[in-house]
Amino acid sequence: MADKNGKNVLEVNNLRTYFFNRWGTVKAVDGVSFAVKQGETLGIVGESGCGKTMTALSLMRLNPTPASRIIDGEIILDGQDILRLPEKEMRDVRGREISMILQDPQTSLNPVYTVGNQLVEALGHRTNLQKDLRAEAEQALRNVRVAAPERRLEDFPHQMSGGMKQRVVGAIAMACDPKLIIADEPTTALDVTIQLQYLRLLKELQAETGMGIIFITHDFGIVARMCDRVAVMYAGRVVEDGPVRDIFNNPSHPYTEALIGSVPKLEEKADRLFQIEGQPPPLYALPDGCRFSNRCAHSKSKCDEEYPSSFRINENHSSACWRLDPSWDKIPSS
């Protein structure tokens, strides 16, 4: 667990990444703000298409161009706004200061190079000094608990299981001891047993290194196991942000309530699983008001007219919902 008074490794303020196409402006990330402390794990959760992965790519400044552009905001990594860096300097930041584990190791690894070659290449970005990079590559595999790392360096990705490949991807991401790791649904391609081992490994490595982690997922079970804080995203924005315990025990946004309600419970038997009715609004034609309003059972006229402010529930927990406005009971129904 992170020290609640610890230093922020990352601060994201009002980040906006838009796509521009024949339909208009697609607001994939639309004013997102959050922070990650040293040794803390922040979970970013939400439905597919809500902007989770595009937020991650924007943090790495790897959002697809020229189709998309970061048009506003700050990404302050260890005190430095990396959005202001020239691309040449940003290449030095990637891997050394901030790194990313992608969800599919099959596409993350180059099939025509050995694992050793790919690790040596990643390590070579850390220093210009002549070192025994192969020995460091071996140690990197050992750090992620790969057995017989000296032999595994000679393997090609197709010779490894899915869980082993994901460990290699983790070794590459952590090879240069970054301050922050972004893990974009890294357990999606793994079976449940291997998932558990991999999550335990990430927590062990975090305890050893003190790195911050952003864990992107749609699985609240993983959130409960892995994360200290949660940012819930919907239609390009963070609608609720708070400690894991508060989010689970006191969800304050109707979308968060619905997501948690969608998780099957072993002790309850139901004829059918709960689902959130309706569809998210298209990101190229967003409403003026709350973006969840058309799916929300509590919606009133003001919800359709104006996007809600972010209301403080306590010092560490906030939610963008008009129900938290003291004047909510006086607002006329739709």
pLDDT digits (tens, 9 = 90+) for 152-187: 999 999 999 888 888 899 898 888 889 999 999 888
Q: What's the pLDDT score for residue 131?
A: 62
Q: Are 243 and 297 in contact (CB under 8 A)?
A: no
Q: How far is CA 7 from the centre of its chain?
A: 19
Residues 229-232: contacts with CB under 8 Å, at least 24 apart: 229/40, 229/41, 229/42, 229/43, 229/316, 230/42, 230/43, 230/44, 230/45, 231/34, 231/42, 231/43, 231/44, 231/45, 232/45, 232/46, 232/256, 232/259
pTM as predicted = 0.90
In 3D space, the residue among 52, 99, 313 whose CA is nearest the CA of residue 211 turns out to be 99
Token pair of 107, please?
A: 């596409």
AA letter at 119: L
How does 129-157 read in b/e, with b if 16+ C-beta sit within 10 Å?
A: eeeebeebbbebbebbbbeebeebbebeb
Cβ neighbours of 315 (radius 10 Å): 8
Name the stretches of the chain with pLDDT < 50. 1, 4, 129-130
Length of the chain: 334
Token pair of 190, please?
A: 């793994």
